[in-house]
Structure 1
Amino acid sequence: MNLAFRLRIESTMLVLASASPRRKELLTQAGLTFTVEASEVLEDLLPKETAADYVSRLAEEKARAVFERRKSAEDDGDPLIVLGADTCVLSEGEILGKPRNREEARRMLQGISGRTHQVLTGIAAVTRAGATVATEISQVTVDLIDPDELETYLDTGEPLDKAGAYGIQGYAARWIPRIEGCYFNVVGLPIARTMDILAKANAKLATPPHDPAATVVVP
């Protein structure tokens, strides 16, 4: 991590607006100091919303919800940055979030079996200067899943906590021979892109736009 960037980050209050243990672990692995405060945002898909728009919107909504709760803390301390993220799987044109039950998890896994799908993560850093938002996309190829192995995986309960009903860092890794793009994106938070978003959010704090509701989308 660039030393100047580390010094800027350490002069802010960084909050992760997610209860995901995987995102917490990845941010810690990246050497960041932060607190965790989950947001409660409805994750319903809007009419005609694309997968990229869906995850970036939810990431920003989660971050803004926590920022509104915590922004008064800036009066007594350092500038506040709230990081939000949301991940989904796009398979054969269908957006897959976390399955609601075993049957839905089974259907999702059968749907990605023997195919290549996309994993998309929206990332948003919200400050008093507005929101900086980006989307990361990775391609994931899945082998044909043996029906008995699928049931064994469902028995673990792991699929119920994962977008697309699988976690690449767990049992399901045996079915994934290849990914194109960021591995950490498939886990739930693309670290390199996240660091870039945080750096841009820090820079905006020095020259904030007139409208704090402004959103800047980073390619």
Structure 2
Amino acid sequence: MTKHLILASGSPRRKELLEHLQLDFTVIVSDIDEAFDSTLTPSATVMSLAFQKASHVAKSYRESYVIGADTIVVYRDQLLGKPKSEEEAISMLTMLSGETHEVLTGVSILHGDQKCTFAERTNVTFWSLTKKEIYDYVKTGEPMDKAGAYGIQGLGSLLVKEIQGDYFSVVGLPIARTMRELRHLGLSK
């Protein structure tokens, strides 16, 4: 018998990725504080945030498989989360223009006493962007709820010259690895 699956994230992109797998799941948004702990490495940061999201929801649903995830962009050791303003989005995109950065997505899956937490790293290279390209993109509103101020699955795809790694991790959930870990923990489709 299949156990219940819960996505502890309000991200429409993560929801859409799980829907592609034709899994029966429920979304229960975790409302943890997503502040970065400056003492942790970027990988440890995303894994910690993913675990906090999953554990916040799993407390009430111990029999379910609960997935928490978090994505950050790292450029020259600087962690870039979601921009708080258009000016911050413009600053982030200007910094990333013509450069390669890392996108890290941490995933934590909890089921009863079982736990699997991991991080996937993908390198993304941007084209050199004009000020007008950056400004026009920010004015679309798309960058405002995305780590690093862009969405690779939307208009932000026009900024990307190359990726090395898992595309779906950049979108917000490395689905192949997540599915493998769910099966390893005993989830049957």
Q: TM-score, length-normalised on structure 1?
A: 0.83
Distance in 2 (CA, whole Å) between partners of 1:47 and 1:120 is 16
* Pairs within 5 Å for 1:42-53: 42-53=33-44
1:25 has 2:9 as partner: no
Aligned mates of 2:153, 2:36 — CA distance in 1: 27
- Matched letter for residue 43 of structure 1: E
> Which residue in 1 is equivalent to 2:158?
174
Aligned with 1:120 (options 104, 118, 123): 104
Q: Offset at 1:114?
A: 0.6
Partner of 1:76: none
State how far apart, in whole Å, the 1-side matches of 2:60 and 2:112 are. 13
Q: After superposition, where does 1:66-145 map in structure 2 within 5 Å?
A: 66-71=57-62, 79-145=63-129
Instruction: Give the alignment partner of residue 2 of structure 2, picking from 8, 11, 21.
Output: 11
Quote the Cα distance in structure 1 between the aligned partners of 2:131 and 2:108.
38
> Which whole-Å CA distance do the structure 1 matches of 2:98 and 2:60 have between them?
44
Structure 1 CA distance, aligned partners of 2:181 and 2:51? 12
Q: Which amino acid aligns with 2:145?
A: D
Q: Which runs of 5+ in 2 are unaligned?
A: none
Contact 1:52 1:122 in 2 (8 A): yes
Measured on the aligned residues, the alpha-carbon RMSD in Å equals 1.2
Q: Which has the higher helix share?
A: 1
CA distance in 2, matches of 1:59, 1:201: 17
Q: C-alpha displacement at 1:47, in angstroms?
A: 3.0
Equivalent-residue separation in structure 2 for 1:194 and 1:21 (angstroms): 17
Structure 1 stretch displaced more, 169-178 or 52-61: 169-178
Tell me the amino acid that sits aligned with residue 91 of structure 1: Y
Task: State the alpha-carbon separation in 2 of the partners of residues 201 and 64 from structure 1.
Answer: 16
Q: Work out whether residues 141 and 176 of structure 1, in 8 Å CA contact, stay in contact via their aligned partners in 2.
A: yes
Give the Cα separation in 2 of the matches to 1:161 and 1:31.
Answer: 26
Correspondence 1:192 to 2:176: yes
Q: C-alpha distance in 2, partners of 1:175/1:156?
A: 14
Q: Is the 1:82–1:126 contact (alpha carbons within 8 Å) kept by the matching residues of 2? A: yes
Point out the more displaced range, 129-138 or 80-89: 129-138
Matched residue SS, 2:152: coil
Residue 184 of structure 1 contacts residue 190 of structure 1 at CA under 8 Å; is this kept in 2? Answer: yes
Once the two structures are TM-superposed, the CA of residue 130 in structure 1 deviates from its matched residue by 3.0
Which residue in the other structure is 2:138 paired with?
Answer: 154
Query: Which amino acid letter does the alignment assign opposite residue 34 of structure 1?
Result: F
Q: Please, which of 40, 44, 47 is the counterpart of residue 56 of structure 1?
A: 47
What's the offset of the Cα at 1:151?
0.8
Residues 161-217 of structure 1: per-residue CA shift (max 9 Å, x gap): 1000000111121121210011111111111111122122228xxxxxxxxxxxxxx
Over residues 144-169 of structure 1, what are the superposed CA-to-partner deviations in whole Å (9 max), with x where a residue is unaligned? 11111111111111111100000011
